[in-house]
Amino acid sequence: MSGCLMLAAVNFHTLLFYVFAALACGFAVGVVLADNVVRMALYLVLSLGATAGLFFLAGAEFIGAMQLMIYVGGTLVLLVFGVMLTAQAPFVSIKTSAGDRVLAGIVAASLLALLLQAAFSVEAWRRPALGEVGPPAATPIGVALVGVRVDAPSAGGPQGVRSGYLLPFEIVSVHLLVVLVGAAYLARAKRRRTPRAIEVAASVASPLDARRRASSPASALTAGGSR
């Protein structure tokens, strides 16, 4: 019975939070340590799924489902592209050089320090209120990014031109799209045309004959069949 009481004393909500948080962090470390692109993707999906679990736990069901739809589903497409564009042989492992490790460590550590500092400097988490003047926080910027100015209500409104930072935000999004297209273009495999066996044989026999045969539909059929 004492065991039951001890369990009852444990806060169920907090316990689940810790479980999901540990899963998310653990699989995130797994992404970094794995050396195979598909395993990385698997860990990334599990980590993002655990994050979605955190959102569901917080009662933010829409954001949780969004997380599943966009990030987990997006990882799926990323994975397909990763395998299609990078894999030259089965089960390629990606080795990181020592210099890259040091550089990545420095970047990650500085970012983590910044985030920790920002997270712990907030006195109390609260909802944004209209026209409220408080200590400088990130909330007004975040809300302004979607087009609502809580810090300057007069600047907003349907007729106001300067209603938040929605336009710059959208421009950045389009830039992101451009970058994605460019990345796909750069990563594209260079096409090297190898002559088919039947064409080689034909060209050895007679160049004129080969040219005539290549233009006929019958040779296209045999060439397709010989692959």
Partner 1 sequence: MADFLINSVGLPPWLAWTVMAGVAAFLILNVIAGGALVFIWAERKIAARIQDRLGPTRTGGRFGWLQSLADGIKLLAKEDLMPEGADGLLFRIAPYVSFCASFCAFIALPFAFDFVGQRLNVGVFFVVAVLGLEVFGVILAGYASASKWSLFGAMREAAQVVSYEVPLGMCVVVPVMLAGTMDLVTIAEKQAGWFTNWYLFHDPFTFVVFWVYVTCAVASVNRAPFDLAEAESELVAGFHTEYSGLRWSFFFMAEYGSMFLVSALAAVLFLGGWNGPIPLAKLLGVSAGTGDTAHYLVRLVGCGNLIAKATLGVLVMMWIRWTLPRLRIDQVMTTCLKYCTPIAAAMFAGAMLWQLFLPGGLVPGVSRPAGEIREGWIEGPGGAASRPANAPAQAMAEVRP
Residues lying near partner 1 in the complex (CB under 8 A) are found at 4, 7-8, 10-14, 36, 38-39, 42, 45, 59, 61-62, 64-66, 68-69, 72-73, 76-77, 79-80, 83-84, 90-91
For residue 120, give the nearest of 132, 128, 112, 108 by alpha carbon: 112
DSSP code of 69? I
- b vs e for 121-156, b when ≥16 Cβ sit within 10 Å of the residue's Cβ? eeeeeeeeeeeeeeeeeebbeebbeeebbbbeeeeb
In 3-state terms the chain splits into helix, strand, coil percentages (rounded to 5) of 70, 0, 30
Alpha-carbon distance of 214 to 38, in angstroms, equals 42
- CB of residue 48 to partner 1, shortest distance in Å: 11
Q: Which is nearer to partner 1, 2 or 154 (CB)?
A: 2
Q: Which is nearer to partner 1, 43 or 165 (CB)?
A: 43
Residue with tokens 């999004």: 173
Q: Which is nearer to partner 1, 73 or 153 (CB)?
A: 73
Q: Which is nearer to partner 1, 90 or 131 (CB)?
A: 90
- CB of residue 8 to partner 1, shortest distance in Å: 5
Q: Which is nearer to partner 1, 59 or 131 (CB)?
A: 59
3 state SS of 141: helix
- CB of residue 96 to partner 1, shortest distance in Å: 20
Q: What angle do CA 208, 211, 217 make, to 5 degrees?
A: 140
